[in-house]
Amino acid sequence: SRPSQDQDQRPTILCFIAEMAESIGSGKSWLISVPSKIPVLESSCVVIPCEYDYPTKGNLWKKWRGYWTRGDETVASNNPKFKLKQEFKGRSRITGTIESNDCTWQLDDVRETDTGPKTCLNNYLTSNFVKIVDCTGVPEPPVMTVSVNNHASATCTVTHACPSSPPKFSWSHPGKTKTSSKKLKEGLWSTKSTLTFTPEEADFNKPLKCTVNFNDKKTTEGSVLLVKKST
């Protein structure tokens, strides 16, 4: 049977579970890929990438239902009739398309209680572990660079686990800005803001500041010194 909704809360270690209408074997050849652990920022979101492969032989699926579980407790499902506990209601959802082998799961407003040791039950045909770790309330300062030629070009880069709601950047100096993101490994993303402007004499030997806002709840700041290039 499906994991119970009435179990006591447990530390969050998550298994992905696939439900089917007919059995298609022991499941030994099932494969699932998720990160082993993901560091997250408290009050931000975390998107856990998840892909799976299943045997092509045997009976066909009659329905596509996925569940993320914590011990005996289900924390996310694509079953519209399934009701989550209040702890996860409104902030937990499967964003992947199960029938397309995508079991990606998103948790919003991450809390310190969402972390914990690795304990999990192997239910149904396939499951795997992912551990939410290092749920910190203070974001790391950004990594910054600056170069000065005819123009000044500065970058401000942070790492995060919430690609659906990337951080926002603001600079202490006006100029042309560009923001880009790239996928890293283990469910992490890097987002960078680049500021370009023509410096005036008064801009040199002063700190150029970058402020990063995460989900409108947490901020961090970094600075670099704008030094005039020697001739």
109-165: pLDDT as tens digits: 988 877 653 333 233 333 445 666 667 888 999 999 999 988 999 999 999 999 999
Q: Which residue has the higher pLDDT, 58 or 2?
A: 58
SS3 190: strand
Is residue 207's pLDDT more than 70?
Answer: yes
205: left (phi over 0), alpha (psi -120 to 50) or beta: left
Distance CA 23, CA 26 (A): 8
Question: What domains are defined for the chain?
Answer: 31-53+64-136 (2.60.40.10), 143-226 (2.60.40.10)
The model's pTM is 0.77
39-62: pLDDT as tens digits: 889 999 999 888 887 766 555 455
Pairing of strands 130-136, 13-19: antiparallel
**Closest by alpha carbon to 97, among 56, 51, 58?**
51
